[in-house]
Amino acid sequence: MGNVRLLIVYYSTYGTNHAMAETAAEAAREAGAEVRVVKCRETAPEGVVNGQDAWRAQAERTAHVPEATPDDMAWANAYLFSAPTRYGVMASQMRAFIDTLGPLWAEGKLANKAASAMTSAQNPHGGQETTLLSMYVTFMHFGCVLVPPGYTDPVIYASGGNPYGTTFSAGKPLDDATKASIRHQATRLVQVAEQLAGGAS
């Protein structure tokens, strides 16, 4: 390994997707990737964020994490996005970041890169699969090469059996099965990205 530059872009209101992103980053680094973890800019009004203790606490905990930029996207040759579901699609903060990428997309600088996605919701049927699909539709517009986990390892079944990407019912710490699923997904993404890189830096 050594040719993979993985950008992990996450949005996290209360901490679940941040924890998922950090778990993926650890696995990707162990697989040989250079990894950047960045967060989407908060678009909710400051008064709303500060009005909820858990939301404010998460913002304070991750104040040191850099915000995602188009330059990060240009740097990477692989992407892993993680964001909670909102009414069956990705959170608006992730969508707002994606909507800044038009110039890069028009130049073809997002194409031919391996991409995968993760998400969470309050319950198993809160739109998790449609949220992943909404992110994959965006990746298809970019011209990315989709790298879902599929059923490529038994850990997928242990964590709920979602072949599209790791999903988690928020409100509690990540369990071991979910962490194993995230690690497998991130490692598989790095492996495919390495194959696409073809040994070129």
How many other β-carbons are positioned within 10 Å of the β-carbon of residue 86? 18
| pLDDT value, residue 52 | 87
Structural domain containing residue 42: 5-197
What is the DSSP secondary-structure string of the chain? ----EEEEEE--SSSHHHHHHHHHHHHHHHTT-EEEEEEPPP-S-HHHHHTSHHHHHHHHHTTTSPBP-HHHHHH-SEEEEEEEEETTEE-HHHHHHHTT-HHHHHTTTTTT-EEEEEEEESSTTSSHHHHHHHHHHHHHHHT-EE---TT-STHHHHTT--SSS-EEESSSPPPHHHHHHHHHHHHHHHHHHHHHHTT--
Q: Give the number of domains in the chain.
A: 1
Average pLDDT of span 186-191: 98
Between these two residues, 160 and 191, which has the higher pLDDT value? 191
pLDDT in tens, 72-107: 999 999 999 999 999 999 999 999 999 999 999 999
DSSP state of 45: -
Residue 201: predicted pLDDT: 42
Q: What is the pLDDT of residue 10?
A: 98
Cα distances (angstroms) measured from residue 122 to each of 71, 87, 104: 33, 11, 34
DSSP bridge pairs for 4: none
pLDDT at 124 over 80: no
Query: What's the confidence (pLDDT) of residue 111?
Result: 97
pLDDT for the residue numbered 2: 79
Instruction: Indicate which CATH number applies to the domain containing 152.
Output: 3.40.50.360
pLDDT at residue 17 above 70? yes
Per-residue pLDDT, averaged over 27-36, amounts to 97
pLDDT score recorded for residue 158 = 85
Token duo for residue 130: 């449609």
Other CB atoms within 10 Å distance of the CB of residue 50 = 11
Record the tokens describing residue 106, joined without a space: 């028009």
**Mean pLDDT over residues 128-155, rounded?**
96
Whether residue 178 has pLDDT greater than 80? yes
pLDDT, position 199: 54
* Average pLDDT of the chain, as a whole number: 93
The stretch 147-174 carries a mean pLDDT of 90
